[in-house]
Structure 1
Amino acid sequence: MRLIDWQLAFEQHLLTQAPEANSGFAATLLGGPTLDVDTGLAIYHNAYMARLQEVLRHDFGAVLYWLGDEEFAALAEAYVRRYPSAHYSLRWLGERLPAFILEHFVAEHSAPLAELARLEWAFTLAFDAPQGLPLALDDMALLPPEDWPGLQVELTPSVQTLLCRFNSLAIWRASKDQADFPGSHALDPAQICLVWRHQHVCNYRSLEPAEACAIAGMVTTGWTFAELCEQLAVTYSEGAPLQAVTWLKQWIQEGLLQRRVL
């Protein structure tokens, strides 16, 4: 048997549901005085699944907190059977778990649980996203007055934006605090949640509707600072410039923004 054929056969053994090896593949191996071939292959098979489950438990601790050990283990096993690890890094193993949850559970339970999984995955994405070139208050102090009206910004690469229709943040916080499960319920209205990394620490917060609209206008629609003030004037009247500066200062202090690349 060629090396590549042996490697493929070993991979197939690890990915099958049963730990028993194919007899033809097992015949190519030699056992030892204290460990026969079938037992050794079964150990590899079970260890591989255990390692994948360990990764998912780490990346989706809040989902584990909600489901409990047994139900999470069943979910994780069903997931890796459906979507075997296909990347050289286990960092990407859980990428499809939120979507799989929608398939795996009935709709009544899947929507809030999938949203919680998306929130946890957002932390993973934020943690190892590129640094970008976040603005600092010193940069703004050096900005000439004539450049302020045309100022345009965008989100730094680590910022993840989620629409939360359920109290996923409360459940996530309870899991981190090892508190009692707070129960799941829908939010009315839904909230925009940001997850990002700043100075090597992952942060999160939800936005009030007015702030969410303002930041979306600048980073998605492409408003200049002057256009932001113009839009805010509808609600804040003469106080619009002060509100615009207040939010801009907060967003910069939080490490959310960088200059837009034109």
Structure 2
Amino acid sequence: MSLSALQTAFETYLTDGALPSNELLEQVRGCTALSALEGLRIYHNAYRSRLLAVLREDFPALQQWLGEESFEQLALAYFTAWPPRHFSIRWLGEKLPEFIGSYIAEPQLSPIRELAELEWTFTLAFDAQDVEALSLQAISEFSAEDWVSFRVSLTPSARWLRLQYNTLALWKAAKSGDLLPVATQPAGNRDCLVWRHNLVCQYRSLEPEEASALRFFVEGGSFAELCESLSAIHGEQAPLQAATWLKLWVNEGLLKLRATIHE
């Protein structure tokens, strides 16, 4: 048996969870204290335990909601449906929110999947590419022309979610070690941002007007166009409102310049 064939047989046994092939067993040397099959089972159990530990770390609120036993059943079913294929274990939970859709039925499905999506979003935000965010110092050096025309986008770590349930309350309770509240569906969806700033993941909900303004701005609108879009509600105070939000977004490390400022 070639080395590559041996490696493939060993990987198949670890990921599929079936009995090892006879060819693999023939290549493993046992002893009086430990047979070849028992030795392979140790590796198999250790591998699954490591995968479970990673999912527990990435989805602690989901585990608290489901309970240890149900979470483990979900995880093992997930590993069977989506065996790890990436060289980095960091991507292990990528498909878990999607898998939940085929594993859990309503009415539990939607709130549980949304909680899993939120937790995975924190993982993505933490590991996202690091870029130089727009600063107040940079803005202070803008010319009058710059102020009118500059455009921005969200930093790579920023993730935009539309939450239908009290998912943030569930996540915060789990984070604090408190009892999870009952999942409820408040009137209207709520926009939520998750991002990384100064090496720490941040999050907050946005009121509809701020969410609309930020979305307009990061999708290509200039600052002048943002002010104009706010004038229907804020009238002459539209530039002040736009500047207030801009200062908030910059302080939070949410924005980066989309286009080069005129020299």
TM-score by length of 1: 0.97
Q: What SS does the aligned partner of 1:187 have? A: coil
For the Cα contact (< 8 Å) 1:152–1:259, is it kept in 2?
yes
Partner of 2:104: 105
Per the TM alignment, residue 12 of structure 1 is displaced from its structure 2 partner at its CA by: 1.3
Q: Show CA shifts across 1:233-253 (max 9, x none).
A: 111111111100000000000
Q: What is the alpha-carbon distance in structure 2 between the residues aligned to residue 16 and residue 159 of structure 1?
A: 36
1:32-78 residue CA offsets vs partner (Å, 9 max, x unmatched): 34221111011111111111111111101110011010000000000
User: Are 1:26 and 2:25 matched, yes or no?
Assistant: yes
Report how far residue 119 of structure 1 moved: 0.5
The Cα shift of 1:147 comes to 1.4
Question: Which amino acid in the other structure matches residue 176 of structure 2?
Answer: D
Deviations, residues 72-103 of structure 1 (Å, cap 9, x unaligned): 00000000100000000000010000011011
Partner of 2:48: 49
Q: Secondary structure at the match of 2:187?
A: strand
- How far apart, in 1, do the equivalents of 2:233 and 2:131 lie? 33
Aligned mates of 1:237, 1:157 — CA distance in 2: 33
Within 1, Cα distance between the matches of 2:127 and 2:6? 35
What code does the residue aligned with 1:142 have? E
For residues 204-215 of structure 1, the aligned pairs below 5 Å read 204-215=203-214
Q: Is the 8 A contact 1:57 1:64 kept in 2?
A: yes
State the match for 2:257 in structure 1.
259
Q: Which residue of 2 aligns with 1:11?
A: 11
Is 2:183 the counterpart of 1:184?
A: yes
**Displacement of 1:165:** 0.6
Correspondences of 1:104-183 after superposition (within 5 Å): 104-183=103-182
Q: Is the 8 A contact 2:195 2:202 kept in 1?
A: yes
For residues 252 and 33 of structure 2, what CA distance do their matches in structure 1 show? 59
Report the equivalent of 2:235: 237
Contact 1:160 1:195 in 2 (8 A): yes
Preserved CA contact (<8 Å) 1:153 1:260: yes
Aligned to 2:196: 197
Aligned residues: 260
Report deviation, 1:261.
3.6
Deviation at 1:113, TM superposition (A): 0.7
Superposed CA RMSD in Å reads 1.1
Q: In structure 1, what is the equivalent of residue 244 of structure 2? A: 246
Equivalent residue letter for 1:106: A
Aligned mates of 1:22, 1:35 — CA distance in 2: 18
User: What is the alpha-carbon distance in structure 1 between the residues aligned to residue 124 and residue 28 of structure 2?
Assistant: 41
Please give the secondary structure, in 2, of the residue aligned with 1:229.
helix
Query: How far apart are the structure 2 equivalents of 1:209 and 1:60?
Result: 28
Name the CA distance, whole Å, in 2 between partners of 1:34 and 1:130. Answer: 50
SS of match in other structure, 1:193: strand
By how many angstroms is 1:112 displaced? 0.8
Give, in whole Å, the separation in 1 of the partners of 2:152 and 2:20: 57
Is the Cα–Cα contact under 8 Å of residues 150 and 259 in structure 2 kept in the other structure?
no
Is the partner of 2:108 in helix, strand or coil?
helix
Q: Is the 8 A contact 1:21 1:42 kept in 2?
A: no
* Identical residues among aligned pairs (%): 47
TM-score by length of 2: 0.96
Say which SS state the counterpart of residue 193 (structure 2) adopts: strand
Partners of 1:195 and 1:203 within 8 A in 2: yes
Unaligned runs of 5+ in 1: none
The answer as to whether partners of 1:130 and 1:158 remain within 8 angstroms in 2 is yes
Structure 2: unaligned runs, 5 residues or longer: none
